[in-house]
Amino acid sequence: MGVSGLWQLVSPYGRRVSLDVMANKILAIDASIWMYHFVRAMPPNKKGPHMLGFFRRLCKLLFLKVKPIIVFDGPAPKLKRDTIAKRAREAEKAEARLRRTA
């Protein structure tokens, strides 16, 4: 997902900084990326630890006096919903082919 070509546009102007430099500054956080990372890091049979990871990361930012603004995606626009549905259908077809060959 995301904005196509965004990193190529902003990378010439960005630089890595340590979090202590961000003290008393506002930092926008993409909640969906954080959740994705935490969910992917958890074993499939575990429920809930990803929320603990999210909470701990927020606590770390607050401890460092960073002011987090957590941004959640809104609903996908119609064109994106169509793309998502198409990808889901393709994934289902691929999974069905895999089951037939297994």
* Spans of all domains in the chain: 1-71, 75-102
Average pLDDT of the chain is 86
Q: For position 1, what pLDDT does the model report?
A: 53
Q: Is the pTM of this model over 0.85?
A: no
Confidence of residue 28 (pLDDT cuts 50, 70, 90): very high
Report the Cα–Cα distance between both ends of the chain, in Å, rounded.
Answer: 31
- The H-or-E segment that residue 71 falls in is strand 67-71
**Token couple for 28:** 């926008």
How far is the C-alpha of 54 from the C-alpha of 76, rounded, in Å? 23
Mean pLDDT over 68-96 rounds to 87
Mean pLDDT over 6-13 rounds to 88
Q: DSSP code of 64? A: T
**pLDDT digits 0-9 by tens, 36-74:** 888 877 777 767 677 888 899 999 999 999 999 999 887
Q: How far is CA 15 from CA 40, 68, 99, 101, 102, in A?
A: 27, 19, 46, 48, 48
